[in-house]
Amino acid sequence: MLFSDDENMIEIAPDAFLLKGFLLGNSKVLLQSLNNIFSLSPLRNMETPGGYRMSVAMSNCGEWGWVTDKTGYRYTNSDPVTNKPWQPMPGIFRQLAQDAAERAGFLGFEPDACLINRYAVGAKMSLHQDKDEANFSQPIVSFSLGLPCIFDFGGAIREAPKIALTLEHGDVLVWGGKSRLNYHGVRTIKAGEHPLLGPYRFNLTFRRSQK
């Protein structure tokens, strides 16, 4: 089924949209590009400033990549594992992210960073804000592939009530404006097997990290 009309788009909060099944039809080409990126900038479990190893394995593509280590969270323009630039953002990634942003009403999205998260069964991402970017004027676009997850979407403060959403293979989220700094997290991934991606969930997050 191809994404065709606005019946597949749900506004879950002010300026936050879920585009159900937007990526279906592009799964295989996305997976090929991912495997190419991982062969050159391998997935790794980074260390938090607090000294914990993240359960989510990460890589990046695009001019800038998000990293964390003992010294803190930041964007770098080279991969600290290989000391080479991050791999270029594949044209199909950029095009789909821009199309999704536009569908949600955000024109002129120019991502310079794509963080790639791989969740094995048992991995999770605790409640946090995305605030390491120098530019909050552009939205964030996220692609979900593989196993489903329960995503918690909160408010501007940690204590605000949260809504739980199931994100499935092919779904896209677009967040900007009033929701850009909302707290969010991913609950522990349950056991399963995706026909294309195996026992994993992948999430690609497109951002404008620099001015």
Q: Is residue 165 a contact partner of residue 18, using CB atoms and an 8 Å limit?
A: yes
Name the residue with the smallest CB distance to ligand MD3.
Answer: 203
Nearer to ligand MD3, 5 or 131 (CB): 131
- Exactly one of 130, 142, 145, 154 binds Fe ion (CB under 5 A); that residue is 130
Taking the least distance from each CB to Fe ion, the nearer of 3 and 140 is 140
Buried b (16+ CB within 10 A) or exposed e, 39-70: eebebbebeeeeeeebebbbbbbbbbbbbbee
- Please give the Cα distance from 77 to 62 (Å, whole number): 9
| Interface segment toward ligand MD3; rule CB under 6 A; list 2-10, 75-83, 88-96, 172-180 | 172-180
* Window 81-120: contact mask with ligand MD3 (x via CB under 6 A): ----------------------------------x-x---
Closer residue to ligand MD3 in complex, CB, 5/122: 122
Contacted by 203, from Fe ion, ligand MD3, none: CB < 5 to 8 Å by type: ligand MD3
Question: Beta strand pairing status for 72-76 and 113-120?
Answer: unpaired
**β-sheet bridge partners, residue 9:** 19
Size of site (CB under 5 A) for Fe ion: 1
Q: Please spell the DSSP secondary structure of 136-198, one letter per residue.
A: -SS-EEEEEEES-EEEEE--SSTTS--EEEEE-TT-EEEE-GGGTT--EEEPPPPS--BTTTB
- Lookup result for tokens 């809504």: 163
Neighbours of 19 (CB within 10 A): 23
Q: Which of 125, 145, 174, 197 binds ligand MD3 (CB under 6 A)?
A: 125
Q: Does position 17 bind ligand MD3 by CB under 6 A? A: no
Nearer to ligand MD3, 5 or 154 (CB): 154
41 binds, among Fe ion, ligand MD3, none (CB under 5 to 8 A by kind): none
Chain residues in the site for Fe ion (CB under 5 A): 130
